[in-house]
Amino acid sequence: MRKFLNDPNNFVKEMIEGVHLANPGKFKLVPEFNLLYRSDRPDNSKVSIVQGSGSGHEPAHIMAVGPGMLDAASPGAVFAAPPVDTCLACIEHLKSDAGVLVLINNYQGDRMSWDMAIEMAQAQGIKVEKFIISDDVAVPNSTYSIGRRGVAGNFFVIKACGAAAERGASLDDLLKLAGKVNDNVRSMGVALSSCTPPLKGAPLFDIAEDEMEFGIGIHGEPGRRRDKTKAADAIVDEMFDAIAGDLPFNKGDRVAVMINGLGGTPISELYLLYRRAAQRCEQAGLTIVRNYVGEYCTSLEMAGASLTLLRLDKELEDLLAAPAEIPIRVF
């Protein structure tokens, strides 16, 4: 296992401590719940936006906390849903008169933990609602999800809701906004290698040097098919066709395009993929208003990438352009 580790059991804890130390004064840390939140939150005039999924997808979500993005993140262990007490502590710390919005990627474990915590918090009189993100077109159901999985498209839900919350949007407004983003965002990923969770110490699955998993999930779960690798442009073409045909995206649409690295693919290759994605958008008559090339939602050190398209309207364009600041400054 080629990893920088002390005790593998402390991997998540020490990563979060690093984020906390690297941003002096900006965050509060509650170590027993892996909870990191903005020092200036909660604010009773603003809805608190929180997310907690398994770790191993960084920068999602512990490094997506900051003004204009999440107010807090409380991740679980690597690829494991946060336990209920963690979710409840997150909601309790971030409770606000304006409410708490919990963003959840569509995985059964995450949903069950947050659902329980939300029920307990509501019983205490805390105003809290959830939104489930499901942008992955690869498979209708998966090992860990009923319905589509939530993957890199979650960034756009966070970004839009984060910006709107800064402007004082209500909890109801934010739920509607999250729904609009989720309805208009589509993703698909491809893996060229597996990844190795620190505690497991071995790759999650076997894949040959010349193979790819098309439609990979961000926990290494199977996608549409295992196939021989092919030229990068042909891989982008297949992802683009699957995504563009799904919404569908139509000529004249204004879009945001994301090429997201899964953790083990260099930025050079990501731009090579973006080149083809931009060509395909142009051919399809889609206007790229904003682009995002880098790592947004990873799977540890997995070699691979995903393509995400978001159809924009004036409101979304405006919210994506709003300022935001998080520990990894990717935009």
Q: Where do contacts with other proteins occur on this chain (CB under 8 A)? A: 83-85, 88, 108-109, 112-113, 115-116, 119-120, 123, 146
Rank residues 118 and 270 by Cβ distance to other proteins and give the closer one. 118
SS (H, E, C) the chain: CCCCCCCHHHHHHHHHHHHHHHCCCCEEEEHHHCEEEECCCCCCCCCEEEECCCECCCCCCHHHECCCCECEECCCCECCCCCHHHHHHHHHHHCCCCCEEEEEECCHHHHHHHHHHHHHHHHCCCCEEEEEECCECCCCCCCCCCCCCCCCCHHHHHHHHHHHHHCCCCHHHHHHHHHHHHHHEEEEEEECCCCCCCCCCCCCCCCCCCEEEECCCCCCCCCCEEEECCCHHHHHHHHHHHHHCCCCCCCCCEEEEEEEECECCCHHHHHHHHHHHHHHHHHHCCEEEEEEEECCCCCCCECEEEEEEEECCHHHHHHHHCCCCCCCCCC
CB nearer to other proteins: pick between 31 and 248? 31
Q: Considering beta carbons, is residue 1 or 112 the nearer one to other proteins?
A: 112
Rounded to a whole number of angstroms, the minimum distance from the CB of residue 106 to other proteins is 13
Exposure class string for 22-34: b at 16+ Cβ within 10 A, else e: ebeebbeebeebb
Q: Shortest gap between Cβ of 204 and other proteins (angstroms)?
A: 16
Q: To the nearest whole angstrom, how small is the minimum distance from the Cβ of residue 104 to other proteins?
A: 13
Check if 57 is active-site. Answer: yes
* Strand pairing class (304-311; 185-191): antiparallel
**Closer CB to other proteins, 144 or 214, in the complex:** 144
Across the beta sheet with 100-105, the strand order is 27-30, 35-38, 72-73, 48-51, 100-105, 128-133
| Residue 31 Cβ vs other proteins, minimum distance, rounded to whole Å | 16
Closest to other proteins by CB, 54 vs 327, is 54
Q: Which position among 20, 57, 61, 93 bears the catalytic label?
A: 57
* CB nearer other proteins, residue 115 or residue 318: 115
Q: How far is the CB of 199 from other proteins (least distance, A)?
A: 14
Shortest CB 202 distance to other proteins, Å: 18
Residue 261 CB burial class (10 angstroms; 0-12, 13-18, ≥19): buried
Greatest C-alpha distance within the chain: 56
Whether residue 219 lies in the annotated active site: yes
Closest distance to other proteins from the beta carbon of 33 (Å): 11
Active site residues: 57, 219
